[in-house]
Structure 1
Amino acid sequence: MSAVTFEELREESLPEVLAIYTHYVQNTTATFHAHALSLAEMREVVFFDSPKYQTYAIRAASGVICGYVLLTQHKKREAYDGTAEVTIYLHPDFTGQGIGGQAIAFIEKAARERNFHVLVATICGQNAASIQLFERNGFSRCAHYREVGRKFGQLLDVVAYQKIIS
């Protein structure tokens, strides 16, 4: 298992995080963005007005940013205030090393400190690695939306996983 640290994402780390995300945009169905984002667009994805929501850079022992994990708003209605969405992206060179599990443990702790009750992960149905990661870490499937996205000329399912943390 690789040793990593987590730190609040800072503006100066945004290009590294954007490069990681761009890989997934251009080469996978892990995200439903179909075009590479600009720095300004990425800033809107990872920085939030409310301190309740936060993005953390994942830093490898070598010092390089090897991924990021974030808590974001699930829905913009008050009844959902106890629910947050979890997103994790790792640089392709750092997958399969136990970092995803460490990221989930870290973000669950951060979510509890912010008094969240439920965490939700929304995943492309083709993304077996992410599905396995969340299942291994106690998330259970709660929804399956068929053919709701289109990317690379194919219709894609979305599955939602949730974990009650408090």
Structure 2
Amino acid sequence: MQEIRIRHAEARDLEQIRLIYNQGIEDRIATLELDQKDMVYMTSWFGEHQGRYSVLVAEMADVVVGWASLNRYSHRCAYDGVADLSIYVERSFRGHGVGQHLLEQLEKKAHSQSFHKIVLFTFAKNQLGQGLYRKRGFREIGIFEKQGILDGQYVDVMAMEKVLRESLHAQ
């Protein structure tokens, strides 16, 4: 396996990010989204992910094979220290450490941006994803039963979290 390089995403990466995101939508393993994303959507999304809420990409041999983002958890100022995360890996690279490298660097980015906690929501049946998160110290908070609808069926969604900073004084 070639070396995985993590870097900040650039506008030139958007097409590959879009393709990988759409794979996640098609495969029905990572999101309740149903509609394929086009470049208009992705350009707007990327514009919202600058500065604190950034996007990282994983490259192998100069090809983007995965991406991760810190997302706004809530617009309420009380939650400014909490980030939601997204991670998507190109189909043929899943299970090869790409997600682990992305998550490790995303945590460092979150810490440097003064987030004290990262939360995520994953399908309760997504054992591969949960294994990745648990390896990095995320803990299960609980399961929202029948939280969303995917392909006409209710699905359970698991909430997980990792505290990066223990107190306000640690900042």
TM bin, normalised by shorter chain, reads over 0.9
Query: Shift of residue 97 of structure 1?
Result: 1.1
What CA deviation, in whole Å up to 9, does each residue of 1:24-77 have, x standing for no partner? Answer: 1122131111111111112333432651110111111x1110010111111111
Map of 1:24 onto structure 2: 24
TM-score when normalising by structure 2: 0.90
Q: 8 Å contact 1:145–1:159 — kept in the other structure?
A: yes
Write the distance in 2 (CA, Å) between the matches of 1:5 and 1:12: 16
Could you tell me how far apart the structure 2 residues matched to 1:135 and 1:19 are?
A: 27
Q: Is the 8 A contact 1:46 1:70 kept in 2?
A: no
Partner of 2:43: 43
Q: What percentage of residue pairs aligned between the two structures are identical?
A: 24
- Asked whether the 8 Å contact 1:8–1:56 carries over to 2, the reply is yes
Quote the residue 2:151 is aligned against: 152
Query: Is 1:14–1:43's contact at 8 Å kept on the other side of the alignment?
Result: yes
SS at match of 1:126: coil
Structure 1 match to 2:52: 52
Q: Which amino acid aligns with 2:109?
A: A
Task: State how far apart, in whole Å, the 2-side matches of 1:65 and 1:47 are.
Answer: 19
Give the superposition deviation at 1:127.
1.4
**TM-score, scaled to structure 1:** 0.92
In the alignment, is the contact (CA less than 8 A) between 1:66 and 1:91 conserved in 2? yes
| CA deviation after TM superposition for structure 1 residue 6, in Å | 1.7
Q: Does 1:114 align with 2:109?
A: no
Q: Give the aligned residue type for 1:112.
A: H
Structure 2 unaligned blocks of 5 or more:
166-171
Q: Which residue of 2 aligns with 1:140?
A: 139
Gaps of 5+ in 1: none
Contact between 1:7 and 1:56, CA under 8 Å: does it hold in 2?
yes
Note if 1:4 corresponds to 2:4.
yes
Letter in 1 for 2:4: V
> Given the superposition, is the C-alpha separation of residues 127 and 14 from structure 1 closer, same or farther in structure 2, using an over 3 Å criterion?
same
Change in CA separation of 1:46 and 1:131 when aligned onto 2, cut-off 3 Å: farther
Aligned with 1:162: secondary structure?
A: strand
Superposed CA RMSD in Å reads 1.5
Deviates more, 1:48-57 or 1:110-119: 48-57
Q: Cα distance 1:123–1:44, how it changes in 2: closer, same or farther (>3 A)?
A: farther
- Which secondary structure does the structure 2 equivalent of 1:110 belong to? helix
